[in-house]
């Protein structure tokens, strides 16, 4: 009787997590959310591109500018620093898939030691995400010191809005990663928890692909 009740509860639990398509409903929801995020970032990138080159006053992203008072502003974008932060974010995506593989294959041969540890890869991903945020904080601070704020010109408004939204998404991802790392340290993530890491990984990789677009359209194309 108790076993039947438990089996019923288990079945109900599975019904709560899997749809008639046989797919996990949280994973479907995450893909739908990512779809909506595509449109959000599509609108922000469109706004940036529409306003590109229409700022009346500087500083400008790729060209030097002399103000009416004679003050000279150099091109504001720092490509070497942003290239380094791009590399860090790309590597974080590698760390993320290795964390997922470590959780999915926990206990299997080849997944022992530090390189098979989900804790190590989750911590590495969170650290890479935090490093990216550090680069962005440095970039924003240096821009403000060089005279570019969100109110300075159209470039400043669209640039800070676009990259600020992206940075906020990275910050949310880092908090999510640290939460999963805490759970892993507390009770240990098992293969049955892989779906939770899979969903988090989808979000993290999406943040990465958005940056791939921003890096090319905002930083590299003059």
Partner 1 sequence: MSTDRVHADHVHEHPTWKQYKWVALWLFIITVAEVWAYYIPALVNSKAFVPSILLMMVVKFTIVVMFYMHLKYDHHLFRKLFTGPLTIAGITLVAFLFLFGKL
Rounded (10°) angle between helices 154-187 and 194-214: 160
Using CA atoms, how far residue 97 sits from 49, 93, 134, 163, 197, in Å, is: 32, 6, 23, 24, 9
- Joined tokens for residue 31: 């893909």
> Which of 76, 98, 103, 177 is close enough to bind partner 1 by CB under 8 A?
98
Interface with partner 1, residue 6, by CB under 8 A: no
Burial class from Cβ neighbours inside 10 Å (0-12, 13-18, 19+) for residue 78 reads middle
Which part of the chain contacts partner 1 (CB under 8 A), choosing from 137-145, 156-164, 177-185, 205-213?
Answer: 205-213
* Residue 3 vs 36, nearer CB to partner 1: 36
Interface with partner 1, residue 32, by CB under 8 A: yes
CB atoms within 10 A of CB 137: 11
Q: Please count the helices (runs of H) and the strands (runs of E) in the chain.
A: 6, 2
* Residue 30 vs 180, nearer CB to partner 1: 30
Which part of the chain contacts partner 1 (CB under 8 A), choosing from 141-149, 160-168, 170-178, 199-207?
Answer: 199-207
Q: Name the site residues for partner 1 (rule: CB under 8 A).
A: 11, 14, 18, 21-24, 27-28, 31-32, 34-36, 38-39, 41-43, 45-47, 49-50, 52, 79, 83, 86-87, 90-91, 93-94, 96-98, 100-101, 104, 195, 198, 201-202, 205-206, 208-209, 212-213, 215-217, 220-222
């Amino acid at each position: 009787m108790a076993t039947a009740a438990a089996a019923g509860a288990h079945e109900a639990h599975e019904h709560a997590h899997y749809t008639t398509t046989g797919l996990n409903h949280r994973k479907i929801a995450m893909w739908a959310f990512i779809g909506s995020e595509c449109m959000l970032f599509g609108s922000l990138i469109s706004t940036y591109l529409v306003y590109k080159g229409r700022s009346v006053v500087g500083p400008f992203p790729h060209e030097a500018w002399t103000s009416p008072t004679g003050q000279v502003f150099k091109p504001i974008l720092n490509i070497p620093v942003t290239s380094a932060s791009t590399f860090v974010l790309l590597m974080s995506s590698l760390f993320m898939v290795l964390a997922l593989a470590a959780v999915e294959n926990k206990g299997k041969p080849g997944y022992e030691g530090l390189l098979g540890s989900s804790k190590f890869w989750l911590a590495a991903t969170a650290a890479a995400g935090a490093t990216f945020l550090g680069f962005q904080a440095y970039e924003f601070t240096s821009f403000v010191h060089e005279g570019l704020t969100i109110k300075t010109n159209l470039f400043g408004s669209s640039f800070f809005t676009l990259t600020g939204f992206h940075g906020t998404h990275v910050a949310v991802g880092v908090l999510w990663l640290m939460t999963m790392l805490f759970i892993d340290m507390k009770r240990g993530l098992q293969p049955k928890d892989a779906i939770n890491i899979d969903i988090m990984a989808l979000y993290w990789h999406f943040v990465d692909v958005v940056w791939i677009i921003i890096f090319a359209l905002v930083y590299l194309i003059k």
